[in-house]
A = this chain, B = another copy of it.
Amino acid sequence: MNAEIIAVGSELLLGQIANTNAQFISKHLADLGVNVYYHTVVGDNAARLEEAIKIAENRAQLLIFSGGLGPTKDDLTKETIAKHIGKELVFDKTALASIEDYFVKTKRTMTENNKKQALVLEGSDVLPNDHGMAPGMFLKKDNRFYMLLPGPPKEIQPMFVKYGFPAIQKQMTSKDVIVSRVLRFFGIGESLLETKIEDLIDAQTNPTIAPLAGDGEVTLRITCKHDSVEEADKLIAKTEEEIFARVGEFFYGYEDTTLMNELSHILLKKNLTVAAAESLTGGLFQKEITGIPGAGNIFKGGIVCYTNEVKHQILQVKESTIKEHGVVSEQCAKELAENVARLLNADIGISFTGVAGPNELEGNPVGTVYIGIAKSGEPTKVEKLALSGTRAGNRVRSVRYGQYFLLKMLEDK
């Protein structure tokens, strides 16, 4: 089955919001083995919406609409579809009761135009809205399926998962399942990784291998279509093995995991705690590690040492170090990592010092970064980076490299 997702809303065309609904729906359709060939965004305009519907009917069997089901005059998705496919709009009693109920619950006053939201396409299956007022709809006509969903993410997402997805699944005739696995790599560029596995990508039929770069990391999505989940898993495992033989050293995890996530698992497993001293990264490493629930078990705390004064007075970096080597130096990174671990009584100290930009520092170009890792009982390691991004990008990538170095160090033991 081929699908097209049509998002309706002028706010999308004005750039006020991104089309995250299409992303959400697409992800789920991919898991279902439904091919999505196009996303379309169109404004709150009946004529242009109808044009988009005609085009989509020529190239997709399943048309999924998001947005335009609200109470205002601008909302005209169902009216336009009704006119286009020759169906009436009728009041749905359950939807009307649920809207009335919603106003009672939220102690707000119901206006006349809110009733409009209970109008549905005649003959459609109504998809309840558990988080708002506008119900969704699912309708088959002339071998084509139309699914209408509300626009707000907090309404469309639970509605699609609970009612929309199963409704589509029921219509699927193929016994084939789509199984996919995402492999995540760090420390290798997209084109170098692709060059190393080019023959595998070229030879791909089933499973397929799709690379994607982002935020300094690269992912490969292996996707297999098969009538047996077990067989699909086996084929994917075989492809994975071939990939690992080429670039396994850069692999760090599966699916939606992150470097910080993997790092937190290994710290917890080894019962180790971390403390951080951050200069150019200004708290970003700590913000990420404390983003993990239960971070208290692996993270003691840390110090953002943005000035030389704090590096010296609080973090006890020697004055001679700052004078002779500067704060952007291997020696300073070493002392910061060692001292923060000692001061905060942690097993591991990690430090970040360098030049985020936009201006150079102590004669060091923007992007020069030193990352120190001090682990009790081992010699302190310092890694040097030469990054070439924006200020924000350099900060993020420094933190990613820090997570990666620490992860690899702990994995090796």
Contacts and interface: CB of A to CB of B under 8 A. Distances in A.
A162 to B, nearest CB: 13
B344 A154 contact: no
A192 to B, nearest CB: 7
Contact of A154 (B14, B51, B108, B390): B390
B38 A52 contact: yes
Contacts of A18: 18-20, 22-23
A73 interface: yes
A295 interface: yes
A152 interface: yes
Contacts of A19: 18-19, 22-23, 39
Size bracket of the A interface: 35 or more
B42 A41 contact: no
Contact of A305 (B22, B301, B392): B301
Given A302-B304, A389-B154, A192 B276 contact: no
A306 to B, nearest CB: 4
Contact of A42 (B37, B45, B357): B37
A379 interface: no
Contacts of A28: 15
A247 interface: no
Interface of A: 10-20, 22-30, 36-43, 45, 48, 51-52, 55, 59, 70-74, 102, 105-109, 111, 113-114, 131, 152, 154, 189-192, 194-195, 201-202, 210-214, 219, 221, 276, 278, 280-287, 289-291, 293, 295-296, 299-307, 309-310, 313-314, 343-345, 357-359, 386, 388-393, 395
* Among all A-B residue pairs, the 7 with the closest Cβ atoms: A282-B290, A15-B27, A283-B283, A283-B286, A15-B26, A39-B41, A301-B310
